[in-house]
Amino acid sequence: MRVNEILKNKITSLKTVLHYKINIFLTLIAALIAVSAFQNVSYGLSYNTLYSQEKILRSKNVAQYTKFKFIIAGYDSLFKKSPNSYKGALAAIRMLDLYRYLSRKNHSLFFQDRVRQSAYEIIKYSKNGRARAYSYFAIYDLYKKQKISTYLLWKKKLLDEYPDSWEAKLVLKDKKKFSSEKLVFSAKYADQLKPLSGKIIVIDPGHGGKDPGASGYFGIKEKNLVLEIAKKLYRSLKKEGATVLLTRSTDRFITLEKRAEFANRHHADAFISIHANASRNKKLSGIETFFLTTKADKKTLLIASRENGITPAQMGVLQKILVGLVQNAKIGRSSILAKDIQEDIFKMLHTKRTNLGVRQAPFYVLAGTKVSSVLIEVGFITNRNEAKLLLNKSYQEQIVSGISDGVEKFFGYK
């Protein structure tokens, strides 16, 4: 009897301990799920949502780190996901500015350390000029307040690398009365972050009107296809901050001279002519990007003569004319633009296609422009498989993304 009682007591005691441990375990699991959900919510929020919530808290002068923690986590996630993109850079600046705000409110070494660490991380991983300039400034300001002499080195970095930035202008404007309170990043500077801000890019959809260009499978007319792609490229480059102009936005005929003149009149920084290729050989396929030359092989002359709207025999006369015009064409810069675009198109394609590379050809429309100019043959509409792809909206977007990324790379933002 005595033994039974002892056993019962031990079993009861074990049940109690086990029940207690299970409760602790379940509580920990619940906590982990809550933290995970919290992180997933913050990481999944868009920049606009995060910024709206930040503005509300800052308008109420909230200074507690816990209130901003999930917003900072969201910004950090956006930055790490795409450190060189417009949104990634904007999120990085907002995160850094939040740490600076909390540092001013709390006068804490913890936040000063976060300012320094965040700025260093942005400089290390981002190539975006606006984000880097703000990071240089944040370190400069922090070290200056802490009376660390190296603040002068960061000032020099800022003025040497980003002399036209508003951070540099602010530092030079009033050295004595300067205060970090004057520099609180706000949404009105968002457009300055866009990689192509201030750039004028002319897109030229080939052919049009009475000139249909090449014809291919599924009733494709070159003039219609390239206009559709050009409009997509227009929207893509505009999102990146560029001023974008189309030589034609409807089905109308424009001479090659007027296309080039249009780019020169608007002082374009780049000229991109969009075309589709064709051949009697239905097996030929691939994408190629051209820049100007006065010399070319027979195959290239055939393509150029078709796009110039003249016979191969007449190309000899045209080449002599081009020799006079070519002095105004920035061939060196154009070759870099062509290379950047061709490379980035193939980085974006989800379908394996033939890379015909970067080539030179005597295109009249390129010779007439005074800026960096390229002509892209997006594919062969006389190849059944490629023609089918070129009609696919998703495939068109991939080509457009590649061109857009190539333009950004050319201007130094990728």
DSSP 41-71: HHHHS-HHHHHHHHHHHHHTT---HHHHHHH
DSSP category for residue 250: S
How confident is the model at residue 2, as a pLDDT?
58
Sheet holding 270-277, edge to edge: 243-246, 200-205, 270-277, 372-380, 287-292, 355-361
Cα-based distances in Å from 336 to 291, 318, 359: 9, 25, 12
pLDDT at 14: 62
* Residues with Cβ within 8 Å of residue 320, at least 6 apart in sequence: none
Distance CA 377, CA 380 (A): 8
- Name which of 243, 233, 288, 245 is nearest 400 in CA terms: 233
Which residues in the chain land under pLDDT 50? 33-43, 174, 176-188, 301, 304, 310-317, 320, 323-324, 326-329
Query: Is the torsion defined by CA of 183, 189, 195, 198 positive or negative?
Result: negative
Return the HEC string of 350-371.
Answer: CCCCCEEEEEEECCHHHHCCCC
CB 312 within 8 A of CB 354: no
Domains (range + CATH), the chain: 47-193 (no CATH), 200-410 (3.40.630.40)
* CA separation for the pair 88, 90 (Å, rounded): 5
Q: What is the pLDDT of residues 88-135, one digit of tens each?
A: 888 999 999 999 999 888 888 888 889 999 999 999 998 888 889 999
Residues 6+ apart with CB under 8 A from 25: none
Query: Are 212 and 383 spatial neighbours (Cβ–Cβ below 8 Å)?
Result: no
Q: Nearest-5° angle of CA 371, CA 287, CA 311?
A: 70
pLDDT of residue 28: 59
**Residues 20, 25, 31: CA angle, nearest 5 degrees:** 125
Alpha helix (H) residue ranges in 177-269: 190-193, 222-239, 256-265
Three-state secondary structure call for residue 17: helix
Amino acid at 190: A
pLDDT at 376: 98
Question: Tens digit of pLDDT for each residue in 181-205?
Answer: 444 444 445 555 577 878 999 999 9
